[in-house]
Amino acid sequence: MRNRIREKLERGEVSIGSWLNLGSPLAAEVVVSVGFDWLAVDAEHSPIGISQVAQMFRAIESRGATPIVRVWDHQPETIGRVMDAGAFGIVAPHVSTAEQAAQIAQACRYPPQGKRSSGTGRAVTWGSDYRSWINDEVVVIPQIEDREGIENAEAIVAVEGVDIGFLGPGDLSLDLGIPAGSPDHEDAIQQFLAACKRVGKPCGIPVSSAEELLERQAQGFVFFDLSNDLRFLQVEAERQLRKAQG
């Protein structure tokens, strides 16, 4: 299985995925069926256990998309478990230093490139040669969400084994103590983008709409989380109800 994120970015194209917060394999299958490159199971903010993660990966894979996951902490054991469940990418939230990023990157790959432990999990059903190619396919994505992370952004994304820099604009606004969308908030976003460009690594950001995606693409972002299953359901349900009510 090739990682569609890598394929798109290596060709200089934009990669668009979405987030999964409902914890439903069926919701994952519905969302992925429209043609997203990848879906990320949000195990940080949703009550999703490791068994559900594996089931959602199956749904994503069934339509040829790439399964990734946002983990709930940086521990190598956590990362190892979701990798063994079949993840092809790890989004690590709240990365503020290059040292944290290096530990995460090491946990995602087998020696000699990393320190991932070898075990028998769902991932080995990809074949007896799984360990020979997964190091080159997995994408390591630190998510920067605070002032310290912005200050260290260049060092973080420059870490060997980090593949994509990813921003967390919501928590960034909370940490900075300023409204999302304010001039100072946007300045921090642009600082992050500039850091990724200086290092030559792809830069990603969550967006809530196609219009916002196109605006960020014009700025130089190339990796996009376009909304999530919960919001897709909520927004469309609200729209249809309001329309029915006149």
End-to-end CA distance of the chain: 48
Is residue 197 within 8 Å of 191, Cβ to Cβ? no
Is residue 18 within 8 Å of 39, Cβ to Cβ? yes
b (16+ CB within 10 A) / e for 77-107: ebbbbbbbbbbbbbbbbbbbbbebbbbbbbb
> Which among 45, 74, 94, 185 is annotated as catalytic?
45
SS3 171: helix
Is residue 154 within 8 Å of 199, Cβ to Cβ? yes
Residue 39: beta bridge partners? 18, 67
Active site residue 45: yes
Could you identify the residue written with the tokens 């490159």? 37
Burial class from Cβ neighbours inside 10 Å (0-12, 13-18, 19+) for residue 28 reads buried
Q: Token digits for 180?
A: 């999302």
SS3 220: coil
Is residue 201 within 8 Å of 164, Cβ to Cβ? yes
SS3 197: helix
- Is there a cis peptide before residue 112, judged by omega within 30 degrees of 0? yes
| Positions marked catalytic | 45
